[in-house]
Amino acid sequence: MPAFNISNAQIYILQNNSPNWFNKNKRSLPFRQTKDPYQIWISEIMAQQTQIDTLIPYYKRFIEKFPDLKTLAAAEESAVLKAWEGLGYYSRVRNLHKTARLIESDYDGCFPSDYQTLIKLPGIGPYTGGAIASIAFNEAVTAVDGNVLRVISRFLNSHLDIGENKTKKVITQWLETILPANSGDFNESLMELGALICSPTNPQCPDCPLRDGCQAYAQGNQEKLPIKKKKIRPKTMQMEVGILIRDKHLFFVRRDQKGLLAGMWSFPIVTQTDEPGQAISDLLNQYTQHLPQAQYLGHSRHVFTHIIWEIEVYSFYLPAYLKEETATYSIKADDQTCFIPIDETDRLTLPVAFKKLLPLLEPHL
């Protein structure tokens, strides 16, 4: 099934110039100093939907804290989640931890070295499996990410929608026909090219090692490609947050174990009802019989991939004397709720959506 026409000259360019370009131009990154599959794995999970510059400090801290598989497997999940705090897509770190324990228990602590085994592990899909297998073990497999889809779509002047699975399949199969022996460098070279030269906007074609074989460049289509269906606009939700304050302690609740920001700590938050402040007061009434008057603190917006939270923030000052009577006044002290000293909130794993509300409190303390 020849989806594209491709000349021998173009194959030559992909097989040779791109890896050569890579060896001369690749960035010095912490996870490029090693062939340890554990470290490659951590870096690849962090790299999912995340720019490299963003993850580097996280990666360094993570490797320092969890230097090997055994350490990670033995760690408390809360400690691992804390190390991921601020990176987003937190299911990645849950699966990471799950997989570490799985390798310890089912694979005798020995990191699986082949693609087919890797993609069975939680959090490792076709891209990450290909990346680990090729980079750490030099297996002859592709690693097709967003960069590669863009680079190859342009190179072939392909107008297929890269959001569709069949496009990914076609490009993967095309790459398999030219995959060289140094598969890891080859895969990384295409990704690095996409990150440094063949960028989504303003591609640096004059500096591109593939320019002379690039069909999009020849047609002047490099800015139009790749084709990608527009994403649906995120849904806006009107939310209310209540910050319960008692004797310089803040009240937090733990979120559900599934769904958005699963299992992370949070201020009490509800969707707004007709009467402003009513829904959050009703919620907090479940935690204390002595809910004081709400004080409006201000507004915040938090944009997720698929949701926008428009948040109205209220504070509620409980009198300090209630401290001795928390049980009586049914402020629960189990692991689903807690009061934390206002300057020690770092003990909790708090999503950015809530962390950025803390400055609203400062003028009122």
Partner DNA sequence: TACACGTGGGT
Partner DNA sequence: TACCCAAGTGT
Phi, psi angle pair for 351, to nearest 5°: -60, 155
Give the residue carrying structure tokens 């069975």.
120
Distance of closest approach, residue 285 Cβ to DNA, in angstroms? 26
CB-based burial of residue 25 (10 Å sphere; 0-12 exposed, 13-18 middle, 19+ buried)? middle
Kindly tell me which of 50 and 182 has the beta carbon lying closer to DNA: 50
Distance of closest approach, residue 184 Cβ to DNA, in angstroms? 11
Contacts of residue 309, defined as CB under 8 A and 6 or more positions apart, other chains included, come to: 237, 239, 300, 301, 302, 303, 353
Q: Classify strands 307-318 and 235-246 as parallel, antiparallel or unpaired.
A: parallel
Instruction: Work out whether 89 is an interface residue with DNA (CB under 7 A).
Output: yes
Task: Give the whole-angstrom CA distance, residue 187 versus residue 334.
Answer: 49
Task: Give the whole-angstrom CA distance, residue 225 versus residue 201.
Answer: 10
Binding residues for DNA restricted to 183-212, rule: CB under 7 A: 188, 191-192, 194-195, 200-202
Distance of closest approach, residue 349 Cβ to DNA, in angstroms? 9
Instruction: Work out whether 164 is an interface residue with DNA (CB under 7 A).
Output: yes
Kindly tell me which of 44 and 316 has the beta carbon lying closer to DNA: 44
Instruction: Work out whether 165 is an interface residue with DNA (CB under 7 A).
Output: yes
Kindly tell me which of 150 and 246 has the beta carbon lying closer to DNA: 150
Residues forming beta bridges with residue 246, ordered by sequence position? 249, 318
Kindly tell me which of 299 and 364 has the beta carbon lying closer to DNA: 299
Number of residues engaging DNA in binding (CB under 7 A)? 63
Cβ count within 10 A of residue 223: 12
Task: Give the whole-angstrom CA distance, residue 186 versus residue 190.
Answer: 6
Among 5, 7, 8, 305, contact with DNA (rule: CB under 7 A): 305
Binding residues for DNA restricted to 24-53, rule: CB under 7 A: 29, 32, 43-44, 47-53
Instruction: Work out whether 101 is an interface residue with DNA (CB under 7 A).
Output: no
The DSSP result for 205-218, as a single string, is: GGG-TTGGG-HHHH
Is position 344 annotated as part of the catalytic site? no
Active site residue ranges: 44
Residues in contact with DNA by CB under 7 A are 29, 32, 43-44, 47-54, 86-91, 95, 121-129, 131, 145-147, 150, 164-166, 188, 191-192, 194-195, 200-202, 228, 230-233, 258-262, 302-307, 351-353
